Amino acid sequence: MKEDGKGSAEGLGRERCIIKKIAVYGKGGIGKSVTTSNVSAALADKGYKVCQIGCDPKNDSTRLLLGRICKETVLDKVRVLGDNVQISDIVHQGYGGVTCIEAGGPEPGVGCAGRGIIVALGKLEELDAIGDEDVIIYDVLGDVVCGGFAVPIRENYAQEIYIVTSGEMMALYAANNICKGISRFARRGSVRLGGLILNCRMVAREVELVQEFAKRINARIAAVIPRDGIVQQAEVRRKTVIEYAPESDQAQAYRKLADYMMASTETTIPTPISFDELEELVAEYGSE
């Protein structure tokens, strides 16, 4: 990385007319990749050129867009081909022409997944792998506990961060941790919080709880995504809801979120709360 902080971001499109550079974070299993893929599909249907980059060693971020698990990850190809990796080895076309890239990870039990993201994004920069996309969306694992997973925030690959959460304690805990990272890096860069995405899990007073949480951390709620069995029906068929059930209310919820992301110009620097305050908040809303 260049010391002026421009190296990586320029390599992934800073000098092009990219409209949005977004990263979506959230704890494992919260529905982050499903949400991200449906947003990408919705944007593609609207005519945007979209690139989705999966930053998760499970390399399943783009499964619903490709209709399969992507086995041609950046790190896998680097291990096999070394410096001979070509763009065509790691860039794939998914639903609606979405450009799909999976960073990949180390072999199970060996190496650091966070470090793998650093290597993978560096290789994409080296190859100038991103074309003339309008939107780049990074789908990033977990909360910011590892420097590798913080790269999209720290190195300005993304400028707007969205956090998928629910009203469950650990989902909010992860969201609060991610906000700590955003707040820290916002002091020396342009990264900001675009908002929270409430992926409902039907816990007690969930919407009220997350609304209060958002208020305390200086965040907006970008969307409330209802819980609907059609999401699983689409997932087992390796499709987004946008493709599988385009006329459904659930598809419309994802389209509404996509519209919000593209139209929003209001971002914030979050003010995360203490763990004790978070516990008290969850107990207050969950006990009534």
Question: For the domain 7-286, what is the CATH code?
Answer: 3.40.50.300
Distance CA 65, CA 87 (A): 19
Digit-coded pLDDT (tens) for 253-286: 999 999 999 999 899 999 999 999 999 999 999 7
- Choose, from 6, 45, 46, 58, the residue flagged as catalytic: 58
**Catalytic residue status for 58:** yes
pTM, entire model:
0.90
Those residues with Cβ within 8 angstroms of residue 172's Cβ, 6 or more apart along the chain or in another chain: 165, 166, 209, 210, 213, 278, 281, 282
DSSP assignment of 87-109 equals: HHHH-EE-GGG-EEEE---PPTT
Evaluate whether 274 touches 198 at the Cβ level (below 8 Å): no
Evaluate whether 99 touches 37 at the Cβ level (below 8 Å): no
**Catalytic residue status for 228:** no
- Choose, from 20, 56, 143, 239, the residue flagged as catalytic: 143
Digit-coded pLDDT (tens) for 26-64: 998 999 999 999 999 999 999 999 999 998 888 889 999
pLDDT of residue 7: 39
Evaluate whether 174 touches 45 at the Cβ level (below 8 Å): no
DSSP single-letter state for residue 202: -
Integer-rounded Cα radius of gyration of the chain: 18
